[in-house]
Amino acid sequence: MANKNDTWNRWRLALVILGAPVFMIFGLVALIRGVRRGVHRVRGFQRALGGVLHCAHGHPNPTHGRFRCLTCKATYHGWVGRCEVCGASAGWIACDVCQIAIPLPWVA
Ligand SMILES: [Zn+2]
Ligand SMILES: [Zn+2]
């Protein structure tokens, strides 16, 4: 009985030793992904707060003005990222010059 327990403990130890690096790598990858996503969002916000969003053709569009809310469909006036009625954002805006849709960088 004691021998059987010993073998079992050794197996468990081996599994923990072999498994630890795998778990560490998984944890690290998840962490890096989370940080990258966070950086992407922050950059999107900075771009929007800078006052101008560029369409695929490079036309500058102000982030303040008249927009249609994606959630409650109200047309509001103000910053593109916040509906005056429900607090959601427009989701996307049409370029003033070529009418191409510009997805808001933090929505996606
Ligand atoms: Zn709204
Ligand atoms: Zn354009």
Distance from the alpha carbon of residue 101 to the mean position of ligand 2, in angstroms: 8
**Residue range 59-91, pLDDT digits in tens:** 999 999 999 998 999 999 999 988 989 999 888
Q: Which domain holds residue 24?
A: 4-103
47 part of a folded domain: yes
50 part of a folded domain: yes
Put simply, whether the predicted model's pTM sits higher than 0.75 gets the answer: no
Distance from the alpha carbon of residue 21 to the mean position of ligand 1, in angstroms: 47
Distance from the alpha carbon of residue 96 to the mean position of ligand 1, in angstroms: 21
Q: Say which amino acid occupies 19.
A: G
Ligand nearest to the CA of 90: 1
Distance from the alpha carbon of residue 77 to the mean position of ligand 1, in angstroms: 11
Contacts 24+ apart (CB under 8 A), 76-84: 79/48, 80/48, 80/53, 80/104, 81/45, 81/48, 81/106
Structural domain count, the chain: 1
76 part of a folded domain: yes
108 part of a folded domain: no
Q: How far apart are CA 11 and CA 16, in angstroms?
A: 9
**Residue range 17-36, pLDDT digits in tens:** 888 888 899 999 999 999 99
21 part of a folded domain: yes
Ligand nearest to the CA of 89: 1
